[in-house]
Amino acid sequence: MQPDYEGLLNRYSLVLLDARGLSRETYRAYMGDLRDLVAFIRERGEDIPDRRCVRAYMLRLASRFDRASVNRKLSAIKGFFDYLLRQGCCSVNPFGHVRSLRHREHLPKFLNPDEVFDLIEAVNDPRDRALLELLYSTGIRVGEAEAMQCCDVDMHRGFILVTGKGSKQRTVPAGRRCVQAIGAYLATRGIADPIYCTEPLFLGRRGGPLGSRGMRRVIYQWSLQAALGRQVSPHVIRHSFASHMLDAGADLRSIQEMLGHASLSTTQRYTHLHVDKLMDVYDKAHPRAKEG
């Protein structure tokens, strides 16, 4: 008899929210991954998937998604079946033997400063301008922008409070242009000082919170308006922030703190973009490089 996957998914969703402290983006992605798997299992008329079913599903994922996405989906699936194992719904995790795919190292995509300025200057909508200024000024994730409340913005000191992955909070400096843009947007909502306002920082056209999908759509549409010649995502803006900070001489530890990276090795990916600059610094600074 097939387990009550719908009921189990509902209960597991609470485990994800309470125990693991995932970001909203990751939570939504995991639940989507698991619902897709359950639909696949039902199509095949399986109860607990056997090795043939597991192999067929992994082949389907590999044909449709890149390695990073496949690995994320596999992580979600393994966690779900570990939960079913603890609940006594299965005797073994059917995906437990599946190994993650090796990552191919991809350099982050980013815009040069002129392209970022052109993009922001093309925006004449107060909300959208505030959103773009915030993402570029701070390098925060789109899911973190979605979760922000008005009171998370310190208009006087120029800082914002960011709730990141695992519900960890960090304080990030925001530039003058960013603070001004947020202030102008909030003024259209009748909010002079957001310090006591717990409303979402960004609202959709119907008055509800602006979700991450809506934010992506906003950025994509304005990138077309600015005629950048390519699609721009929130993550491209985040990468641009990190790259431009590194170019300007910011140290990796500071960038790591602002980006909310748990590991410095994640931040170090940006050094690959600046090999020529690093070599120039080496040639000028290292005693052995000056010989001959």
Active site amino acids = 141, 165, 235, 238, 261, 270
- Quick check: 37 and 57 in contact, CB under 8 A? yes
CA–CA separation, 32 and 29 (whole Å): 5
Q: How far is CA 196 from CA 139, 149, 150, in A?
A: 25, 10, 8
Assign 170 to helix, strand or coil: strand
CA–CA separation, 30 and 16 (whole Å): 9
Amino acid at 79: G
Which of 147, 123, 154, 286 has its CA nearest to residue 219? 123
**Strand intervals (E) in the chain:** 153-154, 159-163, 169-173
- Quick check: 75 and 101 in contact, CB under 8 A? no
Question: What are phi and psi for residue 4, nearest 5 degrees?
Answer: -75, 80
CA–CA separation, 187 and 194 (whole Å): 10
* Beta strands at 153-154 and 159-163: parallel, antiparallel or unpaired: antiparallel
DSSP 153: E
